[in-house]
Amino acid sequence: MPELPEVEVTRRALLPAVEGQRVISVDVREFRLRWPVPRDLSQQLSGRRVWRLLRRGKYLLWEFDHGTLISHLGMSGAWRVWPGDSAPPPRLHDHVDIVLTGGLLRLTDPRRFGALLWHASVAGPLEQHPLLASLGMEPFDPRFGGAVLYAGTRGRAISIKQALLAGQIVVGVGNIYASEALFRAGINPKLPARRLGPARCKLLAAAVQEVLTEAIRVGGSTLRDFVSAAGDEGYFMLDAAVYEREGAPCRRCGTPIRRIVQGQRSTYYCPACQRR
DNA sequence: AGCTGGTCCTGATGGC
DNA sequence: TGCCATCAGGACCAGC
């Protein structure tokens, strides 16, 4: 499910059960995620209070006094929350339960590309954690804009689609929203990143922010109970302009949407609208 | 069999 | 020659 909007929607849904609440117990049923879940996670967290639940890119960061729990949903992960002890028995792929005073949080992740890691404060500043250190700018950072995109794409031979996806310039843009943002900006996804001038960078930066903002807003309604109750069915993007619409008429001009493969991932675009 | 929401890692290449 | 940054491809998995 998770690109930035899904992670952000998840964060907001979990907030009341997490922030300011104390961990009662942790039950790890499957340690083999992308990296092994720490064996001592339960000892590490039990009895401790989570002060804040933050997001960096697609990572969720659970801030404790003595360190930070880092979670990532990979391709197929989701957190769900139940109040009190109302949670049903865990099912296949329900790998971790974190019981807090605010409710039970359950991590499900069939493909196990997700991660759950502990970063102790004594190990150094969180920003220097290997997974976080080289991340690009947050798309909603007030400093983010065309200039950041322009600077970041200088000298880059890869396509603009892949540059967006790489997360070194700006984080949070996954495969769906990369296509959607490029459509909105009217930019051809195959264009080498270094060929973008300041004007197109400005358009694209704005498009990235718009697409993500809209997805969060829409997710807020369509995903409301995806985290709390409804389960796995939750995520779908309302009204994708191009994503998974190969052959369907462009909503702007009617030209059939085209699908290509870049870096082994599908890209969708309108060959007529995206000529910039 | 071939596709799917992510991203780290490795090894090859190219610039200074 | 050495040290970078960049780039392509592979890897990790289950489900449809």
Residue of A3, A6, A8, A180 with catalytic role = A3
Protein residues with beta carbon less than 7 Å from any atom of strand C: A 32, 34, 75-76, 92-93, 110-113, 155-158, 162, 168, 263-264
Residue of A5, A8, A58, A180 with catalytic role = A58
- Amino acid in the structure at residue A192: P
Written as tens digits, the pLDDT of chain A (276 aa) is 689 999 999 999 999 999 999 999 999 999 999 999 999 999 999 999 999 999 999 999 999 999 999 999 999 999 999 998 899 999 999 999 999 999 999 999 999 999 999 999 999 999 999 999 999 999 999 999 999 999 999 999 999 999 999 999 999 999 999 999 999 999 999 999 999 999 999 999 999 999 999 999 887 655 444 554 444 444 455 689 999 999 999 999 999 999 999 999 999 999 999 998
Instruction: Determine whether A58 is an active site residue.
Output: yes
Cβ-defined contacts of A119-126 (< 8 Å, 24+): A119/A67, A119/A68, A119/A69, A119/A70, A120/A66, A120/A67, A121/A65, A121/A66, A121/A67, A121/A68, A122/A67, A123/A67, A126/A61, A126/A68
Q: CA A174, CA A176: separation in Å to the nearest integer? A: 6
Tokens of A86: 């109302």
- In whole angstroms, C15 C1' to A87 CA is 24
Instruction: Determine whether A189 is an active site residue.
Output: no
- In whole angstroms, C6 C1' to A263 CA is 14
C-beta separation of A69 from A107 below 8 A: no
Q: If residue A216 lies in a helix (H) or strand (E), which one and from where to where? A: helix A198-222
How many residues in chain A? 276
Find all residues with CB under 8 Å of A120, minimum gap 6, and list them. A66, A67
